[in-house]
């Protein structure tokens, strides 16, 4: 993310979204995901755009809404963010893989996870947590990389100086944080 695309959490997840609106009904179930995976096997994926540990993030432009990404373990797609749908293979859950998917989609969508023409989208409780963690990780990675954080973003966290994050989380934790490494501009 850049200074221009590092948005406050409210804009990152959708300004009209209310935390009380999170519902398991918004979760993409594994059967729906299997159907989507069959379609995604047929699209032309880009070269890797980001490296996250041993996993690579790829994008495709098979349809017009853009910002669609998949996370791969070798040649196998193990998660995706398609339109408003985020999903990670059950065997790969709890590894933090939703975060690079969310951040890659947001970067491609101009800083927000919302697909074009969306004012808001629904979140399952787990999805809301993943998006909130992804937003916070964006801030911590920006600090790690010596980038500035816009005042509007800091205000939403009730912080006046980005160095307060270092005090909160510790310099060592920020240094050890895995940030998505872009592979092409």
How does pLDDT run across 145-184, given as a tens digit for each residue?
888 999 999 998 899 998 899 999 999 999 888 887 766 5
Q: Is the dihedral of CA 124, 126, 132, 138 positive or negative?
A: negative
User: Over the range 60-88, which residues count as b (16 or more CB within 10 Å of their CB) and which as e?
Assistant: beeeeeebbbbbbbeeebbbbbbbbbbbb
Please answer whether residues 79 and 102 qualify as being in contact, where contact means their C-beta atoms are separated by less than 8 angstroms.
no
pTM: 0.87
Residue 115: DSSP 8-state: P
Considering the chain, what is the average pLDDT of its residues?
Answer: 87
Domain residue extents for the chain:
9-182
């Amino acid at each position: 993310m850049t200074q221009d695309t590092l948005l406050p959490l409210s804009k990152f997840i959708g300004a009209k979204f209310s935390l009380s609106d999170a519902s398991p009904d918004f979760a993409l179930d594994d059967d729906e995901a299997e159907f989507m995976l069959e379609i995604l096997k047929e699209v032309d994926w880009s070269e890797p755009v980001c490296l996250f540990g041993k996993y690579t993030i790829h994008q495709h432009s098979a349809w017009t809404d853009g910002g669609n990404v998949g996370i791969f373990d070798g040649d196998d797609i193990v998660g995706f963010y398609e339109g408003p749908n985020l999903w990670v293979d059950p065997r790969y859950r709890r590894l933090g893989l939703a975060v690079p998917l969310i951040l890659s989609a947001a970067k491609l969508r101009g800083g927000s996870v919302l697909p074009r023409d969306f004012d808001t989208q629904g979140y399952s409780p787990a999805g809301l947590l993943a998006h909130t963690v992804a937003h916070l990780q964006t801030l911590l990675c920006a600090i790690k990389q010596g980038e500035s954080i816009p005042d509007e973003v800091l205000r939403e966290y009730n912080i006046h100086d980005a160095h307060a994050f270092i005090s909160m989380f510790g310099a060592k934790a920020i240094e050890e944080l895995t940030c998505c490494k872009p592979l092409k501009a």
